[in-house]
Chain A
Amino acid sequence: MNARLLPYVLILPVTVFLCVFFLYPFALVAQQAFAGDGGFGLENFRHVVSDWKFPISLKNTLLLAALVVPVQLALSLLMATMVTRMEKGRDLVLYIWTIPLGISDLAAGLIWLAIFDQSGFLNSMMAGLGVIDRPVSLLNYQHPGIVLAAIALAEIWRATAIMLVILVAGIGLIPKEYYEAAEVFGASPWQRFYKITLPLLRPSLQTALVLRIILAFEVFAVVAALGGTVFPVLMGQTYELQFALNNSAGAAAMALIILGISIGFTLLVLRVLRVPKGARI
């Protein structure tokens, strides 16, 4: 076979697969979102945005992302640094820390529901310790703060490991000599982290943050399990439009709005953490 053609032939199956099962449905969704009574327009967008629940779900989604992502970033950096320094048992610790990754997000939501529920562990523990007289309902509209905290906690527990894995791999790529040079030239352990690890980890931080932020805007099952209607989020609204209100054009518009937000934040992360040409390892 012609050697110049071979690469294209080899990527053909994947390309066809992506076109049929990704690009085509995506085009359909987009078409649906922009379709209206009088041909193409922004009617569907106007409709979903003017819903009274839209601002609150947008606010909730952004709030949750703003709360969860920085905590996860800090935690995963700390954990990655610890794992990297370990000489023994490194793999075991890494496996244990990544267990939550293997659990579906709905199951994760249910696990935390079992803790925060009126008949859950937290209530029975507090009752047992005599902090409260009888079980109280924590996850309702009277305690929005607790609902938010429970969702954030569940999200942090569930999805920190995805960042951890990327950062551990990234730290492993930084040559040891840079740390030794920094040490000889006077950098304290904290300065070595701040002046060597962080800047050299930028490519991995980009990947981890982009992935995590996209996931944060797609948050759904954990919120559904713990917050229900008390804590509406964008993806929950999309689900409701599609399945409760049978408004698939509206759902398509919502999906595109979420996509737009994700792309916006992705570009922001790529811009902020860009590595100048010639400054790569």
Chain B
Amino acid sequence: MSRITLESKPSDGVRELLRHLLDKGKVSAVLAPRRLDDEGSLDLGFITDRSELDSIDPFAPVMIANTAQVLSMITPSSSKIAVVLKPCELRGFVERVKREQGTLDNILTISCTCGGVFPLQKAVDGITGGMTANYYSDLSSEKIHAEIRETCKACEHFIPINSDVTVSLVGEKDLDENCQIYLNSKSASELLEGLGGEIDKKEYDPAISAGLMKKRLAEKERLFNSVFPGKGGIDAVIEIFGKCVGCHGCSRVCPICYCVSCDFESMNFDSDIAYYEKELSQKGALRLPPDTMLFHIGRMIHMSFSCVGCGLCSDVCPADIPVASVFKRTGDKTASIFDYIPGRDLEEAIPVMVFKEEEFSRFVDE
């Protein structure tokens, strides 16, 4: 467990690190966010040729696709791959690995202390515009940037868990010529031997970003108290999800929802017209297509305890529903009854896959 200090911008430092890995043949490929043009188009580049590394923007404050989903497509790999990803994407992938949707073997994970990302819509409208101006200075001064997503503002897991390499951004002064790279695993130390820079024995100290943590936790409390109207109840649920158009984009981009065919899109929920006619005779009116609330509450039941709060569901929602905030709010509760933190530990089983003989007596009449 050691630290490398480079005298460069962190993004340059990481590019240098990736070049080192490719040049020395220590990895065969790199997966990282890549800029396509000046208009703000990005994608994830899966790169084997070092000359392609120039377009990489490792800490682009935008999430264009969930790297966790992409990792499922490229693992298990017989070649060593270095991946640059956000802490929540890494946690999302750990959850996927637990569901046998990929593996961390042969993967070197490089993450950063994350200042959050811009909403997708704002980002595609022009990430190179004025929006990023304060972003990096806010990182240094441990402020919550005003334009980042609601979910990011309330995220307390901005320090990567389980990453091989952590680049420290939050709370670091002078991000113009100071790149702090923490090596958290033995394989990271081996692979990065000979990178240069100043090396010392030091682990990441959460005190560096404690100021932001405090603000994030406060913001989280504020968000969770305000996102859900009143005392809740079915009317509140309808108020939030009433404008859902049923595209199910939220479940398709979700790193946890890995099912090829979702239960809620299956024939299980098809009904004869006679069924609707009967329901109509009882209620006088019903919504079509049906089961909008069933879909959202049902999805919460199926996956919320593993929700890593990556926020992509809110990003892709055409109706601007704060899906991520509502799901994370519930997910915090469902995970906490199992003392579970999604993505914390690969060895920690998914709560529904294990049990203890004596537990949860408050939920059962025994």
Q: Real complex partners, A and B?
A: no
